[in-house]
Amino acid sequence: MTASQNLSGKRIVVIEDEPAIKMYVEAALKDAGAGIVASFDRKIDAAILDVKIGDGVSSTPIAMTLEQRRVPFLFYTGYADSVTAPLRSRWPGCKILPKPLPAHELVNAVAALLSPETARV
């Protein structure tokens, strides 16, 4: 299966406060066939969340909302394990990917989130 088939037709939101990283992630997802949604308030298939989103604000409340809506998500962060430990405790099965990551690895991780064989968060 090619990357473009992996995410074809899927609607994904990227919550990221660094514009260059957001553009990189969104470009990788678009290249894989995904549609980018501007807000997690809309109908989405999956989400990529930065751990801290501006001025130390945490994306944990967004993750909790997504969990309630049964929308799969992963964290994409440059923070050390000591910062992400509470996330691993709260969502033990959730992927926490390190920044930077090659585009194909990011796409594969999102495709795994959407796989029917993958347990939902």
- The CATH number for 3-114, chosen from 3.40.50.300, 3.40.50.410, 3.40.50.2300, 3.40.50.11890, is 3.40.50.2300
Q: How far apart are the first and last CA of the chain?
A: 24
Cα angle 28, 10, 61; round to 5: 85
Contact between 64 and 31 (Cβ < 8 Å)? no
Domain boundaries defined on the chain: 3-114
pTM reported for the whole predicted model? 0.88
Going residue by residue through the chain (121 aa), what tens digit of pLDDT does each one get?
444 458 999 999 999 999 999 999 999 999 999 999 998 777 999 999 999 888 878 899 999 999 999 999 999 998 877 778 888 889 998 999 999 999 999 999 999 999 876 544 4
